[in-house]
Amino acid sequence: MSEVLSATTITITVNGKRRELEAPLSCQQLIERLNLAGKRVALERNGEIVPRSRLSGQQLADGDRLEIVVAVGGG
């Protein structure tokens, strides 16, 4: 008998758009997946701001609601 390995997926909402992603996934990994690494971003998870220093340690869970804002300079 062969074993079937299935990836665990979670469904989260990012800026109002539902996404199905493979878990485990941290907030930092999500930012990288969205091609936002290196940019000035603010991330809110379920109504609470996640400090930049904690992005790598925050594991996303099924049903999480995220808002990600990218700071844009200008004058």
pLDDT tens string 47-68? 999 999 999 999 999 999 999 9
The structure's pTM equals: 0.86
Domains identified in the chain and CATH numbers:
9-70 (3.10.20.30)
pLDDT per residue as tens digits for the range 14-36: 999 999 999 999 999 999 999 99
Please tell me the predicted confidence (pLDDT) of residue 1. 52
Secondary structure of residue 12 in the 3-state scheme:
strand
